[in-house]
Structure 1
Amino acid sequence: MNRYDIVIVGAGMAGASLAAAIGDAASVLLIEAEDQPGYHATGRSAAFWSETYGGPGVQPLTTASGPFLNAPPPEYGGESFLLTRGELIMGRGEDAELLDGFERRFAGSGVALRRSRPRDHVPGILPAWNDGLWGPSCADIDVARLHAACLKQARRQGVALRSRAELVSAARQSGGWALELADGGQVGAAVLVDAAGAWADAVARLADVRPLGIQPYRRTVVQVRVDPPAPADLPLVSDVRGGFYFKPEPGGRLWLSPHDETPTDPCDAAPEEFDVALAIDRLQHAVDWRIAAVERKWAGLRSFAPDRLPVYGFAPDTPGFFWFAGQGGFGIQTAPAAARLGAALLLNEPARMAPALDPERYAPARF
């Protein structure tokens, strides 16, 4: 039986970035149930970096991740993973208090927000949408390149990766864990890291660890071609009431979501026609563009802890079990800072942690 200091369950963005951040400070095995890493949430992300997305509790992780994403070190390729776009959070006249409240939530955080008219940013906006907040820092993320860079850096530092290796059983033994994998492998680990996304509670149950109530929710995204074509410099646009968001894609297209959150079991998520229709209807009540074609539609899972903050740290009830889960829809944009935090906690090296982060805020002991 091969033995590792750390076995990480899940090779999506969470597990891959954590493995890369640990580097050669420990022997690490990264296991993935699917044929390839990033099949679920990572591969279906709407791919933006927004300091307001996820709320004030997530914002420190997002902001701390910005410098890495904008100017990654040479071992991650050295080329920015971001393309600045800007974001508009907009509302109708009756939404002024909601916009005021949104602005107050980020007061003193350093996040730049200013009042702005939607028509100054979105051609074809309907007159009812007459108030908004402009966030200039929002950017697109090259998710595929970021994920690939993390996996490459992890491998370069000696991390082993096994795909089609779902965790079948996990038993505590003296000094760690005895793990059985779906590929027939048996491995030992001093520490078991649960970075399994929508399957995080299921992995905990396998290990006889108390689940935290991490709930997957389905999110729908539709690619539409509109007439007139969407401008390439259109910002990320969202409804302050949480009814929709959209962003431009090449060729005058849009990625559009009804901002749905439908509770579901962990699964290979697929879009529902109702949610696709809802997204289109909400867009047509915001802009005067014609929907020329629905070209693609897909769904992904966003998994939240009960308080909607991520969970990073050792389980208080089970030695050697480490939670790295509950990232919701913001796991990509917070990955660099979260990985540094996770590595610091795993290795007991506080200096690895971004100074602005409070690990107690995300500790599993809060539940």
Structure 2
Amino acid sequence: MSRHPDIIVIGGGIAGVSAAAELASFARVTLIEGEAQLGYHSTGRSAAVFIRNYGNATLRALNAAAAPLLEAPEGVSDQSLLSPRGELMIATEEEQDELESYCAGATGIEPLAPDEAVKMVPILRRDRLAAAAIEPDAQNIDVDRMLQGYARLFRARGGQVVTGAPVHAITRGHSAWQVGVGDQTLTAPVIVNASGAWADQVARMAGVSPVGIQPFRRSAAIIPAPEGYDVESWPVVVSASESWYAKPDAGKLMVSPADEDPVEPHDAWVDDMVLAEGLHRFEQAVTIPVTRVEHSWAGLRSFAPDRSPVVGFAPQVEGFFWLAGQGGYGVQTAPALARLTAALITGGVAEIADETIRALSPDRFQ
């Protein structure tokens, strides 16, 4: 392993791996992941859905930029990373304003009569439905194929991957960063902080002011498919208040309480009470009981204070690049942010509007 790459990327989730793969076209890059495998935390626990209208205006611009790269992932996969799914949003009487607000700023969403929503997902309780809307173009994302494809591309371009090696020290020398990894010290003029929930910790380690990245826990469970139903053709179903959502998953249903509890960075686990409350909210909206949970897990979604990602060089700190705060949008925005990262670091032409780049910049927290 070279101890003197041009760029060190800290964090082996989809953000770090995709950015490293793009950067490896221009520079010698080493990717460092503290866990034994890439994509162990948030990436490996994603709901794996691409929703064009998900997030604020900045994120929707990133979604639009990422869509063609997910559909034609040259060098990453020989076929699209997306497959049909659809997203059905449903509202009770109390949730109608939230549904209207979401649809008002969206494109490609069609209102749907409650009776039509029940035809689409027959287990929905008609007496609880006041309104519904469908986004037909929401799609599944093959997250594992995406992650492995970017990892292969990175290695093919000469990139080096170091796993099972938490970073324990970062200092700035005269012309380069020194990064302590295990019993070795790597040096590079540029480091990319793609460490997810740990992004502020990595910044502090480097003597860089944190930007306020806050991890939030998100839980999910696999339950059996309702007896007598083939769920594979069903869309993702989301309550308008985001108090739960459900998605077909390999012939079963993945149900999430859509929890968002602030936590410290850690290997997330399910809070049984939070999961039980979320499953109860799901049961109130459908005609079937939850008889058993086959599997459950939790992951961390990490947000900056304004809920937009943080992408760009830290102000007044040479060679420290932020790629953090992707929240629940990290997988679907990764191709766009990876290319933007490469453009900003190498001085290339960005494919994203200047207005969006400014909205992502760490300068906004000054």
TM normalised by structure 1 equals 0.95
Q: Distance in 1 between matches of 2:224 and 2:313?
A: 46
Aligned counterparts of 1:98 and 1:162: Cα–Cα separation in 2:
45
1:10 — aligned with what?
11
Note the 1:19-58 alignment, pairs <5 A.
19-58=20-59
Letter of the structure 2 residue corresponding to residue 254 of structure 1: L
2:328 aligns to what SS in structure 1? coil
Distance in 1 separating the partners of 2:45 and 2:316: 33
The alignment's TM-score, normalised by the length of structure 2, stands at 0.95
Per the alignment, residue 112 of structure 1 pairs with 108
Q: Distance in 2 between matches of 1:199 and 1:33?
A: 11
SS of 2:140's partner is strand
Residue 217 of structure 2 aligns to a residue whose secondary structure is strand
Cα shift readout 1:281-310 (whole Å, capped 9, x = no counterpart):
011111102323210000000000000100
Aligned residue number for residue 339 of structure 2 = 340
Q: 1:97: Cα distance to partner?
A: 2.4
Letter in 1 for 2:334: A
* Alpha-carbon distance between aligned partners in 1 of 2:89 and 2:100, rounded to the nearest angstrom: 11
Offset from partner CA, 1:102-135 (integer Å, 9 cap, x none) = 11122xxxx3011113224211211211311110
User: Larger deviation: 55-64 or 39-48?
Assistant: 55-64
> Post-superposition shift, 1:356?
8.2
Q: Equivalents in 1 of 2:24, 2:191: separation in Å? A: 16
Indicate whether 1:241 and 2:241 are aligned: yes
For 1:271, the equivalent position in structure 2 comes to 270
Matched to 2:48, the amino acid is A
Identity %: 38
Q: Does 1:136 align with 2:143?
A: no
Alignment check: 8 A CA contact 2:96 2:130 kept: no
8 Å Cα contact 1:84-1:139 kept in structure 2? yes
Counterpart secondary structure, 2:316: coil
Q: How far is 1:357 from its partner?
A: 6.8
* Aligned-partner residue type, residue 285 of structure 2: A
- Report the CA distance between 1:22 and its aligned residue: 1.4
Q: Describe the superposition over 1:137-157 as per-residue Cα deviations: whole angstroms up to 9, x where unpaired.
A: 101111011000000001100
Equivalent residue runs for 1:298-309 within 5 Å: 298-309=297-308
Q: How many residues align structurally?
A: 359
Cα RMSD for the two superposed structures? 1.4
Cα distance in 2 for partners of 1:154, 1:131 equals 46
Q: How far apart, in 2, do the equivalents of 1:290 and 1:95 lie?
A: 23
Worse-superposed segment, 210-219 or 171-180: 171-180
Unaligned runs of 5+ in 2: none
Unaligned runs of 5+ in 1: none
Structure 2 counterpart of 1:198: 197
Q: Is the 8 A contact 1:340 1:354 kept in 2?
A: no
Q: Which runs of 4+ in 1 moved over 6 A?
A: none
Residue 230 to residue 284, structure 1, CA distance change in 2 (3 Å) = farther
Separation (CA, whole Å) in 1 of partners of 2:292 and 2:270: 17
Question: In structure 2, how many angstroms separate the alpha carbons of the residues matched to 1:136 and 1:357?
Answer: 28
Matching residue's letter, 2:21: A
Q: Distance in 1 between the 2:355 and 2:346 partners? A: 17
Matches within 5 A, 1:317-328: 317-328=316-327
